[in-house]
């Protein structure tokens, strides 16, 4: 042995977790090479396919990721599905360390009758549809009803409510896909309920998103004052964000519109509201059994206080009429490869500080590490922690860099033998430029290409 070689590190997934892990390793190790593998031709995960189109400022992190990708010690290989095109074992052979950052690509299901009726969609699929995620591009959600019900009280639920109710002119200048914009233009939806099993003190959305909804032009919030009685007192000593959020809901619920404003409100065509302590039991079909016409809800009471309060059915039921149901009860990670331990109960890879339990040299970061919660900043911090573990293991000799590894040299030939052609970062930059050019005429930041075949054609694959 000649002493240590340059460490070659592999990252699986090009969302925030993948890019922040790569960034931290490259910044704190002068010799490391980091290769990022991504299933889709295009990078950035939920920053491209999750973050709402009317929140472009959130997507500025793409500039940082692009800077990382352009480093001469970083390479991007899109169009490579790990677990199918290449196994984790093969990656481990080729790299000194492998970091799994492949996010949460499925959603939790309610497991109640009627969930497969037409008119019922997961929030994940609906968001994927309006954001141009290839697998959801043909969703064609039926927006011909007046009332939509969103199950869930998180920011994703509010994103969807906002997209359903926003004035079209707000959306026209965003990177929402052309085809979903056209569908929203024909939409008849004018009332959106967001229902949750627990109460106002347990909502998971944040104040910025709530305020945006309250201030959405042409819409009126409908909150039942009775849901908020006594809450002012209950949040007196709560942490500040919870306190301010609750106070905003109370203020909105109790605000008596002045007469003139009330008259203006009568003309307001669209409404949204929060329904609490309702747990869905069954999706009710239309008489011909083809589509959803409503949801049977069990009313609940709360046992316990604060975040840990449990919703217990009271025995009373209620039917809520709606022609569109979007279930927004959470994303879910899937196991990638039999070689990787997976905690099916919590939907995460078991780990300690990002080191995968029982598998030296294997790491994880992001949603697949901590579960599908938290904003980009949370994901950044936990990815930095994982990167730190990798750096410590390089320094402490846990990772044996005395044996040189071929990295993409080895993986590239395996992929070639399987007929897989990776997409490079400069290929992505061509796709990016084409999207920006297509959007320009319509005044949009970009028109996303939703068909992977078309992306590949564009770069001459
Ligand atoms: P992801 O972003 O999902 O990235 C995972 C990547 O891995 C994807 O690119 C995926 O294609 C790839 N991949 C999956 N399987 C494989 C495989 N087998 N092989 C190779 N690659 C694979 N946070 C905010 O701060 N602000 C917001 O406004 C905001 N809005 C959101 C809206 C929605 C609808 C959602 C769901 C989340 C939102 N978040 C927001 C949270 C934020 O998106 C997450 O914290 C973050 O994206 C998680 O990063 P990740 O890298 O773990 O997962």
Mean pLDDT confidence for 332-338: 95
Phi, psi (5° rounding) for residue 425?
Answer: -65, -35
Phi, psi (5° rounding) for residue 9?
Answer: -120, 140
Q: Is the CB of 147 within 6 Å of ligand 1?
A: no
Residue 104 has pLDDT above 50, yes or no: yes
Mean pLDDT confidence for 91-105: 98
Edge-first strand order for the sheet with 278-285 is 278-285, 292-303, 310-321
The two tokens of residue 314 are 């009271």
Mean pLDDT confidence for 307-333: 96
Phi, psi (5° rounding) for residue 344?
Answer: -65, -30
Of 170, 167, 121, the residue nearest 145 (C-alpha): 121
Q: What is the pLDDT of residues 29-68, one digit of tens each?
A: 999 999 999 999 999 999 999 999 999 999 999 999 999 9
Whose Cα sits closest to atom 23 in ligand 1? 375
For CA atoms 121, 126, 132, 135, give the dihedral sign: negative
What are the residue ranges spanned by the domains of the chain? 8-105+333-423, 107-221+267-331
pLDDT score of 264 = 66
The residues, ordered by sequence, that sit 6+ positions from 22 with a Cβ below 8 Å of its Cβ are: 9, 11, 34, 36, 68, 74, 387
pLDDT range class, residue 322, cuts 50, 70, 90? very high
Of 229 and 86, more confident: 86
Sole residue written with tokens 């042409």: 218
pLDDT score of 305 = 87
Mean pLDDT confidence for 141-163: 98
The two tokens of residue 134 are 């290839």
Start-to-end Cα distance in the chain: 41
Residue 403 to residue 124: CA distance in whole angstroms: 43
The residues, ordered by sequence, that sit 6+ positions from 317 with a Cβ below 8 Å of its Cβ are: 281, 296, 297, 298, 299
Residue 307 has pLDDT above 90, yes or no: no
What's the CATH code, domain 8-105+333-423? 3.40.50.720
pLDDT score of 306 = 87
Parallel, antiparallel or unpaired: strands 106-107 and 331-332: antiparallel
Residue 252 CA from chain centroid, whole number: 28
Q: Are 251 and 232 in contact (CB under 8 A)?
A: no
Q: Is the CB of 370 within 6 Å of ligand 1?
A: no
pLDDT range class, residue 2, cuts 50, 70, 90? very low
Whose Cα sits closest to atom 33 in ligand 1? 50
What's the CATH code, domain 107-221+267-331? 3.50.50.60
Pocket perturbation via mutation, ligand 1, pick of 10, 13, 77, 155 by most ligand atoms within 8 A of CB: 13
The residues, ordered by sequence, that sit 6+ positions from 305 with a Cβ below 8 Å of its Cβ are: none
Phi, psi (5° rounding) for residue 311?
Answer: -90, 125
pLDDT score of 258 = 59
CA angle 121, 123, 125 (to 5 degrees): 70
Of 47, 75, 110, 126, the residue nearest 375 (C-alpha): 47
Mean pLDDT of the chain: 95
Pocket perturbation via mutation, ligand 1, pick of 45, 85, 98, 207 by most ligand atoms within 8 A of CB: 45
Residue 3 has pLDDT above 60, yes or no: no
Residue 257 has pLDDT above 70, yes or no: no
pLDDT range class, residue 260, cuts 50, 70, 90? low
Parallel, antiparallel or unpaired: strands 33-37 and 74-77: parallel
Q: What is the pLDDT of residues 395-437, one digit of tens each?
A: 999 999 999 999 999 999 999 999 999 999 999 999 999 999 9
pLDDT score of 266 = 67
Distance set, CA 178 to CA 183, 422, 442, 452 (Å): 9, 28, 10, 16
Ligand 1 centroid–CA 15 distance in Å is 5
pLDDT range class, residue 265, cuts 50, 70, 90? low
Whose Cα sits closest to atom 53 in ligand 1? 103
Residue 94 has pLDDT above 70, yes or no: yes
Q: Is the CB of 79 within 6 Å of ligand 1?
A: no
Ligand 1 centroid–CA 120 distance in Å is 23
Rg (CA), the chain: 24
ipTM: 0.99
Whose Cα sits closest to atom 41 in ligand 1? 375
Residue 225 has pLDDT above 90, yes or no: yes
Mean pLDDT confidence for 126-148: 97
């Amino acid at each position: 042995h000649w002493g240590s070689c340059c460490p070659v590190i592999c990252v699986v997934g090009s969302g925030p977790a993948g890019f922040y892990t790569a960034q931290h390793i490259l910044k704190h190790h002068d010799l490391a090479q980091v290769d990022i593998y991504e299933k889709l031709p295009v990078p950035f995960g939920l920053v491209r396919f999750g973050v709402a189109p009317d929140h472009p400022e959130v997507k500025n992190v793409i500039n940082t990721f692009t800077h990382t990708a352009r480093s001469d010690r970083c390479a991007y290989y899109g169009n490579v599905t790990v677990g199918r095109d290449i196994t984790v074992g093969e990656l481990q052979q080729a790299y000194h360390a492998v970091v799994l950052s492949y996010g949460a690509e499925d959603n939790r299901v309610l497991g109640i009758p009627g969930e497969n009726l037409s008119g019922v969609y997961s929030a994940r699929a609906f968001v994927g549809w309006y954001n141009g995620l290839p697998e959801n591009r043909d969703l064609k959600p039926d927006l011909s009803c007046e009332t939509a019900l969103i199950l869930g009280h998180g920011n994703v639920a509010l994103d969807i409510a906002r997209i359903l109710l926003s004035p079209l002119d707000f959306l026209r200048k965003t990177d929402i896909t052309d085809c979903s914009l056209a569908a929203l233009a024909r939409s008849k939806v004018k009332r959106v309920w967001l229902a949750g099993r627990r109460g106002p003190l347990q909502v998971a959305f944040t104040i910025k998103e709530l305020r945006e909804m309250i201030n959405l032009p042409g819409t009126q919030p409908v909150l039942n004052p009775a849901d908020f009685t006594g809450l002012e007192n209950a949040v007196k000593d709560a942490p500040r964000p919870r306190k301010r959020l609750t106070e905003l809901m109370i203020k909105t619920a109790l605000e008596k519109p002045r007469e003139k404003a009330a008259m203006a409100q009568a003309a307001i065509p669209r409404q949204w509201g929060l329904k609490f302590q309702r747990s869905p039991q069954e999706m009710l079909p239309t008489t011909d059994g083809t589509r959803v016409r409503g949801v049977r809800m069990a009313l609940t009471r709360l046992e316990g206080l604060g975040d840990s309060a449990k919703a217990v059915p009271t025995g009373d039921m209620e039917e809520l009429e709606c022609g569109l149901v979007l279930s927004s009860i959470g994303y879910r990670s899937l196991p990638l490869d039999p070689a990787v331990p997976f905690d099916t109960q919590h939907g995460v890879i078991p780990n300690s500080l990002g080191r995968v339990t029982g598998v030296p040299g294997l790491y994880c970061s992001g949603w697949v590490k901590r579960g599908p919660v938290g904003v980009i900043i949370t994901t950044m911090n936990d990815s930095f922690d994982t990167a730190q573990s990798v750096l410590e293991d390089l320094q402490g000799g846990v990772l044996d860099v005395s044996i040189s590894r071929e990295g993409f040299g080895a993986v590239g030939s395996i992929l070639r033998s399987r007929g897989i052609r990776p997409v490079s970062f400069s290929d992505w930059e061509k796709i990016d430029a084409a999207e920006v050019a297509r959007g320009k005429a319509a005044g949009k930041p970009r028109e996303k290409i939703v068909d992977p075949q078309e992306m590949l054609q564009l770069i001459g694959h």
